[in-house]
Structure 1
Amino acid sequence: MLTSVEGVYRDGRVELKETPSDVPEGTSVIVTFARADDIDLQSRGIDRAQSEALRASLSTFVEDWDSPQMSIYDDYDAFKAND
């Protein structure tokens, strides 16, 4: 049986938007990452104005996200696994 649940990847974890009721604890999962430009925001109730406002509010973080110092987090999970 396959069950699809939407979520967001944040701080090395996947946060589900809803908890599936028919999936037992410990069930194996496969996570597929969708690029932001592949998501149909209108089908999720987000119009162009809301999208632009969200993009503007997050734009203040771009410089930090793209800084060379942030590359330390590129292999964070592998580092923690060997710690």
Structure 2
Amino acid sequence: MLTSVEGIYRNGQVEFTEQPTDIDEGTRVIVTFMRSNEIDLASQRINKAQAEILRSHLATFVEDWDSPEMSIYDNYDAAKTNL
């Protein structure tokens, strides 16, 4: 079974932004680096027409994403430590 967990690469180490659950110590992992704002659609088996459909469906959320309240997620780790 595969489990995906997001993280950030800093100082030669991967820091998880969420903790994996039900994973035994010593479990092997594969790390895939994604450059922000660079998504290879072909590697995700998404063609240009499908990407346009996705963009149009997600456009309804733009106002929410761009709201000032959402800026807390720009540096989620720092905000989380201030709780």
Scaled by the length of structure 2, the TM-score of the pair is 0.51
Structure 2 stretches lacking a partner, 5+ long? 8-16
1:60 aligns with 2:57: no
**Matches for 1:1-83 after TM superposition, within 5 Å:** 13=18, 24-25=26-27, 32-36=33-37, 38-83=38-83
Displacement of 1:35 after TM fit? 2.6
Segments ≥4 residues shifted beyond 2 Å = 6-9, 12-15, 29-33, 72-77
Distance 1:42 1:31, change over 3 A: closer
Q: Distance in 2 between matches of 1:45 and 1:14?
A: 28
User: May I ask how many residue pairs the two structures share in their alignment?
Assistant: 67
Structure 1 stretches lacking a partner, 5+ long? 1-5, 16-22
AA matched with 2:46 = I
Show CA shifts across 1:11-55 (max 9, x none).
x5499xxxxxxx924x8x97744233x222123211111111111
AA matched with 2:71 = S
Distance 1:70 1:58, change over 3 A: same
Q: Distance in 2 between matches of 1:77 and 1:35?
A: 17
